[in-house]
Each structure stands twice: as C-alpha cells, then as structure tokens.
A = this chain, B = another copy of it.
C-alpha cells in the first residue's frame, strides 16, 4: 500500500502520515526509489494514533506508549506511563463532565422563557445532577 492509499483508507492527509513517520509513530518500508510502502496493518496503527491524539496525548507521549501497546513491551516504566496517562484522561473526563453539567443547568434555565441565563454555583449544579440522576 502506498502513502496515498493509506491516507484515503485511514482518512488522514498524506502530510500527516509523513509527519507521523518523522515523529517515530509510523514506519514505512521504502522501495528502491525511496517511496513508502505500508502493510495493511498500518491502517489500524493510524487509527490508534488518531485515537490517542484525540485524547489529548502529544506525539512524544504517543511515541513512548506505542511500543508498549503494539510491540508488547512490558516493563515497570511502561506500566507507569500507561496508568499515568489513564489517570490524566480520567481527570480530563471529570472536568469535562462538570463543565457539561454546568452548561446543562444553564440551558435548563434558558428553557423557562421569562428567565435569563446565569452561571450557577457548583453546589446547585450538584444538587440538580443528583435530582435528574434520581429515578
């Protein structure tokens, strides 16, 4: 598979694939004339990279995680790295959830036609979340 095919198949740009290689995230076999050739499995690898990017990981972090995730490396350092990133994502999810609940509360207020919108203190958000979570 050539770089254009991989780009089409995985939905990222050719430039991005070359950038991934530059960052050590994706390797390619080179033909005699220097053109990149990828195995079929490269599409999965690219998907994985995209997923990790979407989770807010940097190239450097992904480069550290990948051998541990794909090349079956299993050391104390790799496990620490994995759990650290997992915890980071957990914290990010928690922060986003709080913000979403805030927005939901504001939207609810906007729903009543004669009321203005206003930001709401944390404790009120918590109370409201409990309320709507209660069956």
| Contact, CB under 8 Å: B118 / A54 | no
- Residue A92 CB within 8 A of the other chain: yes
- Provide the bound-state CA to CA distance between A116 and B93, in Å: 28
Contact in complex: B116, A103 (CB < 8 Å): no
CA distance A85 to B95 in the complex (A): 15
| Contact of A96 with B55 at beta-carbon distance under 8 Å, contacts A72-B116, A103-B86 already known | yes
Q: Copy number of this protein in the oligomer?
A: 2
Size class of A's contact patch? 35 or more
Specify which chain B residues have a CB less than 8 angstroms from the CB of A30 in the assembled complex: none
Binds B, one of A1-9, A13-21, A76-84, A126-134: A76-84
Contact with B along A103-127 (1 / 0, CB 8 A): 1101100100101111100000000
Residue positions of A touching B, CB distance < 8 A: 44, 48, 51-52, 54-56, 68-70, 72-74, 78-79, 82-83, 85-86, 89-90, 92-93, 95-100, 102-104, 106-107, 110, 113, 115-119
Which 3 pairs of residues, A with B, have the shortest CB-CB distance?
Answer: A72-B116, A55-B99, A86-B103
